[in-house]
Structure 1
């Protein structure tokens, strides 16, 4: 009897484990970037329990996955340049368009992107920009230049927060200096390092997850910030204004990627397809205050999102994407960042 029962018991436990795995999904996302209502809607519709862990920068996410977390999550939400880095590192799985019935809903401008041509590993999540905002109750001066951050006027010194992310902070510094991203010119790299290290004495803090809160609270008067965070600060009653500086600002697209060795691949594809439904993509934008990369969302978008000053750069303004540097060049930028953060 024991010889007959034991294999049956093992089979029963295995089937039970598979059934449990079929009802779960693990997401690795930025903080404050997904409404619980949307997760609850997906869970109810597909009978899938979703767990979420958060990160505060692309670089932190990459480091965590490389340190052993790859295989623990099904999906992650990297920025555009990080998608390419992850693909080069062999960290992404691929899918075919026919595996997502809503694939055709992806907006044409976000379909054949350089960081994932034809969308083989990712779908659009949200897009927006990175610049800086100021508290207009305190600072009345001009905000037409990145000098507000990198060579601030006297009244802003010691009252500035900077995003704790190398990719965006060093890119904005490069834009301010007018030097190319991924430069290998030693004089240009020296100028970049000198700029940020000199400006550091005028900064109050490095903080990404607190970028909105410190402006709302008045702990800082100016700060690098993502466009949606600035819009949220206004919604919370802060008299802040978002800048589109003359030197330029960063434009980005965050993406939902299918990770290599995802433990729940089928549920991951269901969730990707779910977020490509216009109503769901709009609900995400209404929460995050950014713009969707999905067609036919306008009827579902709140007016405050569609008409947000942060989401509507003035004509002639210059937005740039963060470029993906070679490993050799990236190590030089990492050295600049490491020195800055000491």
Structure 2
């Protein structure tokens, strides 16, 4: 396609949709800051070709890592994919562009349960990316007992001792411990936090590692026989090691929703909005789900999904499982106490 034709196509797109500001051209760059292994390269290539945009991507290991880098003044990125509670924090910290995402032409495809969300009630800053749950997996070839309890992780049977990987994510680990103890989230009760600290330190003796990026690999290789994991990574792990089973602990587990946001001061805001709109296309959202194995936040993806995802246990909790819990960001005083527990745990 010639440069003139590309310009005409971009102008037509801007006129037909609400994703371009007046005079903006669909060309240039898009710099993505994303979680590790969370989008297929061919989908990035499709966007790059469709809009004549050079796409580059760096990765982070946790929501807190993203927050720390942005607060430290890291610049140059256009979009990121923070979790629900982190979107709320980034908005509060003034680290996101208010792009009125609800005006995007493909916003009509967003699922109803992804509207009016606590982290961005009017969807002024974000659109859904992928959503899912965080629990753990167990290799049934190593341990064949009931796995639907956090006791497997915090008071493991002999078969699993020294073979458990935990996510290197403060909220995922601490919230799991709080659920096992029967205590509420965002907890500032000194006695209950002491009990949590004691539980974690005791359990750590039976754990192998803290690893988020390699949470799937350590299970697939058999280096770990159990491990905390996001459900999509769990599905991908089971594809490679059929004996792995995803747990739905009776004490509860975390639900989460990652989102596409535009970082404050993004050098390529219009391309960022184009990318948001692109990912709200059902075919593109399904391509992401087929790769990452999480659930899409838009309607109409079913015709494009791989058949094995329709009934995958990692994406379809049993009827008797508790409902996943979305945890809003905690007050600052709680965050500080959690950080102390976490720092002590990682020593």
> Could you state the TM-score of these two structures normalised by the residue count of structure 2?
0.91
- Residue 270 of structure 2 is aligned to residue 266 of structure 1: yes
The offset of 1:78, in angstroms, is 0.5
Q: 1:24 to 1:189 in 2, by over 3 A?
A: same
Partner of 2:88: 84
Q: 1:128 to 1:328 in 2, by over 3 A?
A: same
- Residue 150 of structure 2 is aligned to residue 146 of structure 1: yes
Between the aligned partners of 1:99 and 1:236, the Cα distance in structure 2 is 41
5+ residue gaps, structure 2, are 1-23
Between the aligned partners of 2:26 and 2:280, the Cα distance in structure 1 is 24
Between the aligned partners of 2:62 and 2:164, the Cα distance in structure 1 is 19
- Residue 159 of structure 2 is aligned to residue 155 of structure 1: yes
State whether residues 142 and 160 of structure 2, in contact with CA within 8 Å, keep that contact through their aligned partners in structure 1: no
The offset of 1:329, in angstroms, is 1.4
- Residue 347 of structure 2 is aligned to residue 339 of structure 1: no
State whether residues 125 and 293 of structure 1, in contact with CA within 8 Å, keep that contact through their aligned partners in structure 2: yes
Over aligned residues, Cα RMSD in angstroms? 1.4
State whether residues 43 and 49 of structure 1, in contact with CA within 8 Å, keep that contact through their aligned partners in structure 2: yes
- Residue 92 of structure 2 is aligned to residue 72 of structure 1: no
- Residue 304 of structure 2 is aligned to residue 329 of structure 1: no
3-state DSSP class of the match of 1:223? Answer: strand
Q: 2:238 aligns with which of 231, 234, 239?
A: 234
Structure 1 segment 23-172 matched on structure 2, within 5 A: 23-69=28-74, 71-97=75-101, 99-172=103-176
Partner of 1:13: none
Aligned residues: 323
Moved over 6 A (4+): none
The offset of 1:21, in angstroms, is 10
3-state DSSP class of the match of 2:42? Answer: helix
- Residue 170 of structure 2 is aligned to residue 199 of structure 1: no
Partner of 1:219: 223
Between the aligned partners of 2:180 and 2:202, the Cα distance in structure 1 is 14
The offset of 1:128, in angstroms, is 0.7
Partner of 2:11: none
- Residue 254 of structure 2 is aligned to residue 246 of structure 1: no
The offset of 1:303, in angstroms, is 1.3
Between the aligned partners of 2:162 and 2:314, the Cα distance in structure 1 is 25
